[in-house]
């Protein structure tokens, strides 16, 4: 083939490539799987006009509702070896139950980013601050504090070895874990990892190996909640991965008050890190609460939590200005904002320890 023929063929192929790329960009793009909050989500096709319509937010949220989709910009690049063409597509992101219930539209004097919050004097039970404190919301890994309380009170041998099995693998959110199937650890080690590092497989294994099995353990979780006065709380599993594990800030303050009396829970939840030997490897786990390593904080007990439906959650027992306080923050907007909310509360307590703040909630329950 002549040089001129080669040149004409190359021009034709380039022209054809441009047409194919233009057609691809003109059509609706389907993106591959996306990850939000450590959880795998399927991405749904969205027509361009759907982005422009306002999303209706109900005042009450049914626990099993399929949430409306928000949209955030994600860049998708399509191109060849020599040049690329990019466009912005819209990926649906699921709002939390608190957002759907309108809790974040309620303003408070401290400008907290959490949809619900409670600060209580542990000795007098005086409520110093409350915001939507009776709204019933998913509580994510705050559920593990009840799991830990029951295991600690059970009298079961902490040196008994337990094997992580396929049953402990998360099929709810498909979250990852550093504890592989077949890992063998003691009950005490699993308890430490569940409370400090919020390890889901560790928490599930603790419930699964409880006498009577997982169903008996979950029944005991609910029975214990009722016994200590948690009237708006319900558990369906021991990890918090299910959005059906629900409670209120007021109920969780009650749980913190009870759990704080257990020295094992105080020690394990506030430890900075923990190393475990798994076969020929040593894994180091760190505390999920960044404040435990901050010397300006005196934390006696804590637990963090996050799933998309619950937002970012935090509960703590702390000492501030000579007072023992219980703090609960639910449905915070970001992973750091719950800790920033705790800082805002601390500054307020230190500057004006006699004032109380109460913000009325739009609804008593956010789960219908």
- Is residue 33 annotated as a catalytic residue, yes or no? no
Domains and CATH numbers, the chain: 3-95 (no CATH), 108-359 (3.40.710.10)
Q: Residue 126 is encoded by which pair of tokens?
A: 């005086």
Given a contact cutoff of 8 angstroms between Cβ atoms, the answer to whether 23 and 66 are in contact is no
Q: Are 179 and 199 in contact (CB under 8 A)?
A: yes
- The pLDDT assigned to 298 comes to 98
Contacts of 365 (CB under 8 A, 6+ apart): 60, 134, 135, 136, 232
Q: Are 214 and 189 in contact (CB under 8 A)?
A: no
**Candidate list 46, 131, 144, 303, residue with the active-site label:** 144
pLDDT of residue 37: 39
The tens place of each residue's pLDDT in the chain, 368 residues long, gives 555 555 566 566 666 666 655 555 554 444 443 333 344 333 333 333 333 333 333 333 333 333 333 334 334 444 444 444 445 445 557 899 999 999 999 999 999 999 999 999 999 999 999 999 999 999 999 999 999 999 999 999 999 999 999 999 999 899 999 999 999 999 999 999 999 999 999 999 999 999 999 999 999 999 999 999 999 999 999 999 999 999 999 999 999 999 999 999 999 999 999 999 998 899 999 999 999 999 999 999 999 999 999 999 999 999 999 999 999 999 998 889 999 999 999 999 999 877 788 886 544 445 43
Closest CA to 101 of 267, 258, 248: 248
| pTM attached to this predicted model | 0.75
pLDDT given at position 361: 53
Catalytic residue among 198, 243, 332, 361: 198
Catalytic-residue membership of 324: no
pLDDT value of residue 83: 46
Q: Which of 96, 114, 141, 243 is catalytic?
A: 141
Identify whether 198 is a catalytic site residue: yes
CA distance 315 to 242: 19
């Amino acid at each position: 083939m002549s040089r001129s023929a080669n040149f004409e063929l190359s021009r034709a192929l380039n022209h054809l490539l441009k047409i194919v790329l233009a057609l691809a960009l003109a059509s609706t793009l389907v993106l591959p799987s996306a990850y939000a909050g450590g959880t795998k989500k399927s991405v749904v096709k969205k027509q361009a006009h759907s982005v422009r319509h306002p999303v209706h937010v109900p005042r009450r949220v049914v626990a099993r509702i399929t949430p409306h989709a928000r949209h955030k910009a994600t860049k998708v690049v399509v191109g060849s070896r020599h040049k690329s063409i990019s466009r912005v597509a819209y990926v649906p992101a699921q709002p939390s139950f608190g957002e759907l219930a309108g809790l974040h539209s309620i303003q408070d004097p401290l400008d907290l980013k959490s949809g619900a919050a409670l600060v209580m004097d542990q000795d007098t039970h005086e409520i110093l601050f409350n915001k939507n404190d009776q709204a019933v919301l998913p509580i994510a890994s705050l559920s593990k504090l009840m799991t830990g309380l029951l295991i600690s009170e059970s009298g079961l041998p902490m040196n008994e070895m337990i094997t992580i099995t396929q049953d402990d693998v998360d099929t709810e959110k498909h979250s990852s874990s550093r504890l592989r199937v077949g890992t063998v650890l003691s009950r005490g080690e699993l308890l430490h990892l569940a409370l400090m590092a919020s390890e889901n497989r560790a928490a599930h294994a603790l419930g699964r190996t409880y006498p009577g099995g997982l169903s008996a353990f979950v029944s005991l979780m609910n029975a214990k909640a009722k016994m200590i006065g948690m009237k708006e709380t319900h558990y369906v599993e021991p990890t918090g991965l299910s959005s059906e594990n629900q409670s209120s800030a007021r109920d969780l303050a009650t749980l913190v008050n009870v759990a704080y009396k257990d020295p094992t829970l105080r020690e394990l939840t506030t430890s900075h890190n923990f190393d475990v030997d798994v076969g020929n490897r040593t894994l180091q786990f760190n505390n999920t609460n960044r404040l435990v390593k901050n010397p300006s904080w005196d934390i006696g007990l804590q637990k963090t939590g996050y799933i998309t439906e619950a937002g970012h959650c935090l509960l703590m027992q702390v000492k501030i200005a000579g007072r023992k306080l219980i703090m609960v923050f639910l449905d915070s907007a970001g992973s750091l904002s719950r800790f920033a909310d705790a800082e805002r509360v601390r500054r307020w307590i230190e500057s004006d320890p006699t004032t109380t703040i109460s913000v009325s909630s739009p609804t008593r329950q956010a789960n219908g």
